[in-house]
Amino acid sequence: MNDSQRLLDFDPDFCRRIAKWGAVVCLVWLALAICILALVHPSSRCPAWTIHDKKGGATSLWVVVGYFTGFPTAWLCFIVLRWKGFVRTICGSGEDRYKRFLASKGWDYESKPAAYVFPVNALFGFVIAMWSLLCSMPLWVMVLPCL
């Protein structure tokens, strides 16, 4: 067993499935948001899908959808399409460059196994779930104040 396997709780197949599902969810949110903006006539509270604040400034919901759904969806799709490079980066982070803190100060044995295994699978699942939730935010902005 190599160092990256011992230091990282990382299953590439599991994480790839999670990333694919996250990309699909974000693509669905993006398609829904674009369909609503293009096909549904907004109420009088959001004329031309523009939200006005109390100070007189205006924000187009097209921009909000682009920033909070378009960019995150594109990034997640990029990760899914370039998965092998992403896996190399994760595995490379747990290999040669890893040195325990106490061992780097000369206070511990270097051959001693790592006391903590980093939970990459759980963290990756949490990040993708939050990413998908972020992608749904413009829909809530459209539905709650505008429709």
> In the chain, how many domains are there?
1
What's the pLDDT tens digit per position in 96-138?
A: 555 555 555 556 555 555 556 678 889 999 999 999 999 999 9
Chain mean pLDDT for the chain: 81
The model's confidence at residue 79, banded by pLDDT at 50, 70 and 90, is: very high
Q: What is the pTM of this model?
A: 0.77
What lies within 8 Å, CB to CB, of 139 at 6+ separation is 29, 32, 33, 36
Q: Higher confidence at residue 76 or residue 91? A: 76
| Tokens standing for residue 102 | 């106490």
Q: Provide the residue range defining the domain that includes 57.
A: 3-146
Query: Phi, psi at residue 82, to the nearest 5°?
Result: -105, 40
The answer to whether the beta carbons of residues 61 and 49 sit under 8 Å apart is yes
Query: If pLDDT is split at 50, 70 and 90, which confidence band does 1 have?
Result: very low
